[in-house]
Every structure is written in structure tokens, then in C-alpha cells.
Structure 1
Amino acid sequence: MLSRLCRVLCAVVLAACTAPPPAAELRWGGDAEGGAPFVEADPADPSQVRGFDVEIAGLMAQGLGRQPRFTQVGWASIEQSLARGDFDVGLSGVEDRAELRARFAVSLPYYEFREVLTVRSADTARFRTLDDLAQRRVGTLAATMAYRLLLDAQRSEGVIPVSYDDDVHPYSDLLEGRVDAVLLDHVLAERALRRMPGLAIQPAVLARGHYVALFAKEQTALRDSANVVLRARMRDGTLEQLFRRWGVWDSTQALYQQRLLASNDSASAPAAPVVTASITTYLPALLRAAVVTLGISLAAMLLAIVAGGAIAAGRVYGSTLLRGALTAYVEVVRGTPVLLQLFVLYYGLSAFIKLPALLAAIIGLGLNYAAYESEIYRSALLSIPRMQLEAARTLGLSEWQVFRLVRGPQALRVALAPMTNDFVALLKDSSLVSVITVVELTKETAIYATNAGSWLVPGLLCAAIYLAMSLPLSHVARRLEARWSVA
């Protein structure tokens, strides 16, 4: 028996020694939320991804003798994740920029896109170029070539840039009249036209750019090997077939590939100069965004206090039906994410009422925190000893007088500290309103970090501003609490 076991163990060890080593992987990062034709979850198998960037990653891996492995990462975080070594290649409609080349090894530009203006079909004669959109709202993605074009147009023509975190809502907002135009890559614009009738792309090309693959700065050998593979796939027509399958091939791409193959320059850097993302450059924008954050937080907290007080009073003094309805509201609001509530309020209800983004942010945060405030006020009201209330009623005070003279003042002292904590929390949660196009402090910091290529300095600066806004409030609240404390 022992000898048989030894033979089995020897066979297992021999098989392990003679088995071929596992294939090396090419880890690449992209954003499946960006959708087709770049990267999207496969409808037939959501655990897999598809898109032309997925296939390009596969071609590079095949040419390098590796197996591709996808890593999901937010589009705005591709550069930072690559820099910290989360994957080997960043691919997901990454735009070639001069500052990228200072921080990364950049592949040859494998696709040329055009920045185009999309308008409502009824406005094709009114809004042909950015010159026609003075004092008009134009949507785009943050930290892109299009966003920088809009910033230039803001300075020269008075165009109002509206920043989004995805490429779907700019076009839906365009249809609903929240913006007057959208400036983005023609790939995204043509996809929007297929999904949303009523839009038109203006023929003027406002700028041209290129999609590239990013490698770590020290991975120039890997980048060069990937460039050899990409050039070979261009020459044999594989890339053309790939782009045709995804509906993004046209005569412009054919001419671009011909020029690229005729040239020995595999890294045609954009002509734009490198912009220094210094603190002095971005600090004024961060301070303006901090004012927006503080204004939203104060207005939302005021709404939360008023609505929360009304809900608490209804649950303490109201009828059974009213108490049940208010309890349901509190549980629903506290049991669902505030981000979801903002989406529903701004986008979901747009068929019935089109709230301005700033107003939607205030209402969304205010109604969300009203549920939490109501619980603070209700528990504070219920904490007052019943004997005090009965004594006040015995003295002939009305219920309103009991509340105003006995119950309310004591409840306010009990609720003060939790109210302050909630305001500080609301101040931080205001960062979520960027999803409905409000550029507040965290969103402005993210734009700064993207241009700087690091979150360290922008993040520390953002934290310092948040602390400067929240610490004085906490200090005042502690002094009031000490003054009003009951011995």
C-alpha cells in the first residue's frame, strides 16, 4: 500500500515538473461602463467584455505571446491605476495628450477621432459652430480634449461648459433641452444618433485627436513590442476589419493609417504644449468650487432641518395614517443610496419636471438628510420626561405652548450635536452631486488630478479646504452645546 502511494506521488510530481508553464498575461485596464464600441459587458455573458479596444488588447497579447486579462477601472482613473501597477496597459478610448507622454510610455495612435458638435435636429441652422453658442450650455466629458476646447471657448466666446461623468447623459440632456449642444468624439456622437432620434451632427470638425494605449514609463520595451504588433495588424488589414465590425471605419481612417504606415514615427505626439498643473493655476478654481459646495450644503441643510422637523412633528403628534406614511418615507430614503436618489430626481423625473442641476442637488441632498434629521428630532422630543409635559398641561398650557416653552427648547439642546455631525456629513456627501453636472469641490479636484497625473497634491489641497470649512462649524457647535448643556 505504501509503495503504491509513493508511486502515485512520484507520478504527480513528475507530471507537475513536465507540464508547460502557464502562459504569461497581458493585464489591461479599461472601463466597461463606457460602453460599445470601446469596452462593454457582453450581453450574452456579462462576465465577459467586448468592443474594439477589447479586440486590440487581444491582438497585442497574441502578438506578444500572452493571454489578455481585463481589469475594470473607471475611465478617469486609468492613468492613476496604471501608474501604481494595477495593470500593464491602459485601453479604453484613451486620448493622446502631450502631458501623458511626459508620464507614460504611449503607443502609436491607432485610431483618429474627430471632435464634432451635436445639436437638436431643429437647431442645425442655429448652432453650427462654437461661435454660435455664446452664453449657451454645451455638454462634454471632463478631462478630455473636448472639455479643454470648451474652456477655451468659454474664455473667448462665453460658452458655458457642462461637465459629465459619462457620455450618455449629455445627449439625453440635449434632447430634453438642458444643454444646447454636445461636443465629443464622433464615435460617441454617432452612437448617440443611433440610439436617440432627434439629434444631428454638424459637419464641421473642430479638432482631431487619437486613441492610444498607455504603458508605464519604464515599460518602453513592452510599448515598442506592442507598436510592432499594431503596425503589422494595420498592414495586413486586421485593424481595418476590426473597426469595420464595430462600425467606426471610414475614409478618414484609411487615409490616417496610410500616413501612419508611410511614416516611421510611431509616437506622433500632439502639437499642444504641456500644461503645468500647478497649485497656483488651479487654486482659484478650487476655491470657487468650494463656494459652490458650501452654498449647496447650507441650502440643503436648511431644507433638511425644516423638512426633518415637520416629519418629526408629524410622527410624534400626527394621526396613525400620517405617522405610517412618514415612517415609510424615512425608511425608504434611509434604505436607498443618495446617489440613486439624485439620479431619479434629476434624470428619472425629467419627463415630468426638468429641475436645474443646482436646484436638484439641493433638493436631493435636503430631502435625503431630512429623513435622518427627523429621527434626531423625534428621539429628542421623546427624550423629554413625560412628567414635565403632564405638569405643563396641568397648568393649563396648550399643546403648542407645551411644545414651544417646555419640549422644544430642551429637545433642541439634545439634538444640537447630532445636527452638527449631520451637516459635516452633508458637506462631504455634496461631492456626489457632480453626477448631475454640478462642478463642486471634489469634481474640480478630480479635473486637477487628471491634468496633474497624481491625486497626492490635489487630494491634500481638497482635504485642507474641506477641513477649513468643517472645523470652524464643529468648534461653534461645541461652544453652543457647552453653553446650552443641562446640568
Structure 2
Amino acid sequence: MKKAWKWLESILLLMILLTIIPQNVGAASKTAPKVTDNYLQKVKQKGELIMGTSPDFPPYEFVKNINGKSKVEGIDVEIGKKVAHDLGVKLVVRTMDFDSLLVALETGKIDMVISGMDATPKRAQSVDFSHAYYKSGQDLLIRTSDKNKYHDYHSFAGKAIGAQTGSLQATLIKEQAKKVTLKTMDKDSDLILGLQTKKFDAVAVDTATAGAFAKNTSGITAIPSGFKVDSAGSAIAFHKGAKSLVNAANKSIAEIKQKDLINQVYLPKAGKYLTNGKNQKAAKASNSMWAYKDFFIAGVGYTLFISAISVFFGFLLGAILALMRLSHNQFAHTIAKAYIEFVRGTPLMVQLLFIYFGLGLIINIPALLSGIIAVALNSAAYVAEVIRSGVSSIAKGQTEASRSLGLSRSATMRYVIMPQAMKNIWPALGNEFVSLIKESSIVSVIGVKDLIYQSRIVQADTYRGVMPLVITMILYFIITFSLSSLMKVFERKMKHD
């Protein structure tokens, strides 16, 4: 009996130990979590930290013309440099629209987002934030002539306020300014232009940004917004689960705060770039459109390059699709028809974003290549229908006569049908090529430095909204008019032949 009790005591003691030990281990793991992700290791292996930003948000990030070259500067860039330096890697800055930043982060195009982004609870559901590195208030930019008319957002009942798409300001207006009409745009420079041209009555921005715009844009002033903000401040966003990078960034941010680098170094440096450190006459000369000629030339170069490559491959693929659709092979006919109908039935913007971001989950395609692929694939569907209609317009007697003379089906198509079809469809092809040049401007949304992208840089850098657009319009007209004239020369030669 005593042996039985001893065995029973031993079993009870063992059970107690087994229940206590895991709890202690669990408690230890809670107090000292281990970071097991490999995000930091990957960054160090490739030797670069890719930062995504939308450079139209001074003094956080903005583009400046430095010795004829565009360069992204601002508080956020300095913070990015600090984090990269502490990791022992090189900082690479990639620019894109603000509402595309988190998508780029999710698909692995960038390693972090530093773009004056507030760490809100909603955003924290999809990304991991560092500690806040800077907290600023919220202001409203208004026209100087309306200074005595408005005091805060309550004064804008029945009026329209503009905000950047996907921004904290847009959310605040939706949630708190119920009687206000919200109008969103992708770029702050477009919002300022909208304010100047009376498309809306105010623009909601960060206090630091409001100060930069008010100081450098005539006819605009800033007033307190009156919004109640539930945000810790601006923070660095990382991929969900990238705790190793978050911890590394927090160490850098702690040093930045300890030394007060933002107020002592970063803000003064950004201020010098914004004012150029020049007198009024020199500043005016540096903001002339002629000073930015290299930007427009570079934009024209990118636009022509994208258009030329896209026209070549678009025509090649379009011809193949047209022949497939005209083929008696049911499988080839179905594939071509499905492709043409799908591409023509979906917006080019969606196709571009899918190739750049969607396929980015599988393979990392550079922005320029993504733009060329999207424009070429889109154009191919329209070219295919143009060629098909041209071939169908040729009388069946032509084919029958050729076959009766002993020509094969392929020879008939090559030597009899296609030469006549090309004469018929040449004007339509010309229109498609001209349209392609204009539609290629959409690649600017993923950061390709085409003509539209460069014009936005000039807008942001000079705080002049209309003149860069006028220059861009003129340049596009010169390009398309030249192409149309060249196509007409070939058309006349075809008619003569």
C-alpha cells in the first residue's frame, strides 16, 4: 500500500512539473521574443535598402534640380540614409504615387516606405510600423484672399476640400468634416493647382508641408484645420512580419530623437533646398522653364523610347493575333479572340499595375520594362483588329484567283492580300501609333521618368502648376504631329504605287 502511495505521489509530482515548466517557458518567450524573419538578412545580402516615397510632400520629400539633375531630398530621405548607414548598406530611393506605396511594399518592389506616412491603426493591419520619428499637426491651405473667411474645417460647410488620395487628411475629412465635399488627387502639386484655379476652397495637408507650400507659393496661406488626429505621427512602414527591419529602424530613430537631428540638421537642410539659398532674382531665374530643359529633354527621350519599342512589338504581336483570328484553326482563333476581347475590355491602367505589382509577386520586373510590356500588349489587341479588318476588306476573288494560279495560302496572304490590306489600313494604323504615344504617359504612375513624370517634377520643384503642363502639351503635339506627317508621306507613296 505504501509503495502504491509513493508511485501515486511521484506521478502527481511529475504532472505538476509538466504543467509548470511549459508556463514558465511560455512566459519567458513572451518577455523576450525572438526575431526569426530574414528580411534584415536579405537587405544586407543585396547591399541596398530600397525606400519608396512620393516626392511631392515638402519638407518631407521633394525633387530638386541640382546641377541639371533631379534629386529627391527632404527629411524622410535623410532618415532613410541614416537607417541604411546604420545597417551598412546603400539607400536606393524609388518614387511613385502615394497610394501605390503600400502595394509596392506588399509585392516586394521596395523594402520600406518613408513618405510622411502616419502610423494609423488601419494601416497597421497590413504593414508593420517603426516608432514615430516625427509628429506634426494638420493644417488647411487656403487662398490668401479668403483668410478672413475661413477659420478651420467647420467654416467649410457646403464647400470642397482637396486631399491626397489615400492620405490621413482624406480620412480625417471623411470622418470628421461630414458637411464638406472631399476631392482627392494623386499629387499635392495638382491639389495646389486646383486650389489656385478655384476647383476647391482648401487643401488639407500636414503642418510642415503647409508651411513649405505657403512660403513658396504666392497667393496661398495656411490656417489650423481643427481636426482631431488619432495618430502617433509619421513612421516607417515595413512589410508585415519584418520585425528584424523594424527593430533596426527603431534603433536609428532612437538616435535621431536623442540628438534631435530632425530639428537641428534635417529640417534646416531641407529648408536650404527649398529656398535655394539665393536672392529673389536668382531664385526666379532658377525657376524658369529654361532651367529645366534637361528634364523635359529626358522626358521626351523616355517617351520616344517607350513608344518606339511598344509600336514595334505591338505591331508584331498584333499581326500574329490577326492571322490567328483569321485562321481556320479553331484553337488559334479562340485564343486570339479571347486575348483581344479581354485586353480591349480592361483599362490600360489596370493592366500596367497588374504587370508591375501583380507579377511582382512572382518575378521582379523593372518599372520601365513593365511600362513597355503593358503598352505593347495593349496596343497589340487594337492593331490586330485593324489588320483583321483590312484583310477582310479584300475581295474573296483575289484569294480565289491567286490559288487558281498555284499560289499557296501563305504566299497568297504574303504577296496578294497583305500589300493591298496595308494600303487600306495605313491611316488607321497611324492613328493607333499616335494614340500609343499619348497613352504611354500612363507609365508615370509607376515611376517611369517619361514626359508626364518630368513635368510633375518641375511642378513640384518650381511650385508652378500651369506652365509645365503647357510645355508638356506643346512637346506631345510636336511628337504626334511629326509622326502623323511622316505617316501621310508613306500613305501618299502607297497611293502613287
Structure 2 length normalisation: TM-score?
0.58
Matches within 5 A, 1:188-337: 188=119, 192-196=123-127, 199=128, 201=130, 205=133, 211-222=138-149, 225-226=151-152, 242-244=228-230, 271-272=271-272, 273-274=274-275, 276=283, 277-337=287-347
Residues 125 and 409 of structure 1: CA distance in aligned 2, closer, same or farther (over 3 Å): closer
Structure 1 equivalent of residue 114 of structure 2: 183
| 1:32-86 superposed Cα distances (whole Å, 9 cap, x missing partner) | xxxxxxxxxxxxxxxxxxxxxxxxxxxxxxxxxxxxxxxxxxxxxxxxxxxxxxx
Matches within 5 A, 1:81-480: 122=38, 137-145=50-58, 146-148=60-62, 151-152=72-73, 160-167=92-99, 169-188=100-119, 192-196=123-127, 199=128, 201=130, 205=133, 211-222=138-149, 225-226=151-152, 242-244=228-230, 271-272=271-272, 273-274=274-275, 276=283, 277-480=287-490
What is the CA–CA distance in structure 1 between the aligned matches of 2:49 and 2:299, rounded to whole Å?
A: 20
Q: Which runs of 5 or more residues in structure 1 are unaligned?
A: 1-119, 230-238, 251-269
The structural deviation recorded for 1:215 is: 1.0
Q: Counterpart amino acid of 1:142?
A: P
Residues 306 and 249 of structure 1: CA distance in aligned 2, closer, same or farther (over 3 Å): closer
The structural deviation recorded for 1:388 is: 1.8
Kept after mapping to 2: 8 A contact 1:365/1:426: yes
Corresponding residue pairs, total = 333
What is the CA–CA distance in structure 2 between the aligned matches of 1:228 and 1:320, rounded to whole Å?
A: 65
Residues 188 and 438 of structure 1: CA distance in aligned 2, closer, same or farther (over 3 Å): farther
What is the CA–CA distance in structure 1 between the aligned matches of 2:321 and 2:42, rounded to whole Å?
A: 49
Kept after mapping to 2: 8 A contact 1:143/1:450: yes
The structural deviation recorded for 1:222 is: 3.1
What is the CA–CA distance in structure 1 between the aligned matches of 2:422 and 2:457, rounded to whole Å?
A: 41
Q: State the identity %.
A: 25
Kept after mapping to 2: 8 A contact 1:305/1:373: yes
| 1:131-175 superposed Cα distances (whole Å, 9 cap, x missing partner) | x999764210131234327624899x88543222124x3234234
Residues 241 and 478 of structure 1: CA distance in aligned 2, closer, same or farther (over 3 Å): closer
Partner-residue secondary structure (3-state), 1:336: coil
Q: Counterpart amino acid of 2:439?
A: D
Partner-residue secondary structure (3-state), 2:444: helix
What is the CA–CA distance in structure 2 between the aligned matches of 1:165 and 1:450, rounded to whole Å?
A: 13
What is the CA–CA distance in structure 2 between the aligned matches of 1:378 and 1:424, rounded to whole Å?
A: 20
Q: Counterpart amino acid of 1:138?
A: M
Kept after mapping to 2: 8 A contact 1:296/1:430: yes
Residues 160 and 317 of structure 1: CA distance in aligned 2, closer, same or farther (over 3 Å): same
| 1:248-306 superposed Cα distances (whole Å, 9 cap, x missing partner) | 599xxxxxxxxxxxxxxxxxxx9554355321232211211221111111111112101
Residues 408 and 456 of structure 1: CA distance in aligned 2, closer, same or farther (over 3 Å): same
